[in-house]
Amino acid sequence: LQMRPFIRAVAKDHGINSNKVVVNSTTLTDGIIVRFDKKDYRVNLSPNGDNYTLTRAHVVDHRVIIQK
Under the banding of pLDDT at 50, 70 and 90, the label for residue 4 is very high
**Residue 55: φ, ψ to 5°:** -115, 130
Single pTM value for the model: 0.84
Residue 1 has pLDDT above 70, yes or no: no
Q: What is the rounded distance in angstroms from the CA atom of residue 12 to the CA atom of residue 31?
A: 20
Residue whose C-alpha is closest to residue 38's, from 21, 26, 55: 21
Phi (first) and psi of residue 5, to 5 degrees: -60, -35
